[in-house]
Amino acid sequence: MERKILYRFFEGKASLEEEEEVCDWTEASEENMQEYIKERKYFDLLLVQNKRNSTPHSSGKGYLLNNLIKYAAVVLLLIMCGLQVYYITKPEKNFEMNTIIVPTGQRVNLLLSDGTNVWLNSGSKMRYPASFTKGKREVTLDGEGYFEVTKDLKRPFVVQTDKYDIQVLGTKFNVEAYNDTPLFSAALMEGSIQISDKTEPSNITLLHPQQKANSINGQLVVEKIQNYDIYRWRDGLLCFEHIAFNDLMKEFEKTYDIQIINENKNLDNYICSGKFRISDGVDFILQVLQRDVKFRFQRNENNTIIYIK
């Protein structure tokens, strides 16, 4: 496999044909997968080194935002944690666990060793093994992810979150489960998923295609998916429907790495709907919203806070 193709794949610049070529190559042999992992680690180290070399002594959230924009073509910064975890039954064996952390305002596309394709949204963190064992395929998620799981009847795929675990065999689904919020949401596009409550393992919810489950007052409520656009964040779109203004501002904070303070109480009950490209920027979206409701906004001197008035 040519290194330039792999690097385009890591950067999110590969064509569909090149993506398929990489996937087929990694699935062809264990040697190819190990080569993929080695190149990925080297690529990650280059990113971290470039980040260190380009960071001046002065710091601040405003500079961080500009620096992330500068590296938008790379789309991700990885922090790889080489933790050695040992099997109880076979202490001579070990496998490496990786942790990927997505900076605020960024998105990441990741191919796991079994061929499962994962998209991680802004501010997400996922821990996963460099190579899955013969048992369950397990990952731990703090954030939002879209999974296209490679089917394997002998090895269930499990996404562990702070409050719920999701088990599948092969499917496509979206899950949002940031540890710092009480919210949990899972939406199923294909296949089936089984959601188990960590506090009550016997409490299991089964989702079928076109269904979603939201945690409301500690209970999972299942309903039909009405709008698939809200899951198109992986395509660089920011879609929202019937969302409260203040909740939308929280989404903007996560997406654009900026603090937003709403000082206009008249907007507390304003419900928003819209569809934008993330690249449009928060200022443009706010200007569009101004056409429907009256408010003003301005940034502070450091461009780290937007005040809604």
**Residue 149's pLDDT band (boundaries 50, 70, 90)?**
very high
Residue 96 pLDDT exceeds 50:
yes
The amino acid present at 225, given as its one-letter code, is I
Does CATH place domain 76-234 in 3.30.365.10? no
Four-residue CA torsion sign, 246, 288, 243, 188: negative
- State how far the Cα of 185 lies from the Cα of 76, in Å rounded to an integer: 24
- State how far the Cα of 129 lies from the Cα of 203, in Å rounded to an integer: 28
Report pLDDT for 44: 59
Nearest to 286 by CA among 269, 265, 306: 306
Note whether 80 and 104 are within 8 A (CB): no
Note whether 292 and 247 are within 8 A (CB): no
CA 36 to chain centre: 21
In terms of pLDDT, which residue wins out, 171 or 63? 171
**Residue 201's pLDDT band (boundaries 50, 70, 90)?**
confident
- The whole-model pTM stands at 0.66
Spell out the domain ranges in the chain: 1-75, 76-234, 236-308
pLDDT in tens, 106-130: 888 989 988 999 999 988 999 998 8
**Residue 37's pLDDT band (boundaries 50, 70, 90)?**
confident
**Residue 4's pLDDT band (boundaries 50, 70, 90)?**
confident
CATH fold of the domain at 236-308: Phage tail protein beta-alpha-beta fold (3.55.50)
Report pLDDT for 138: 93
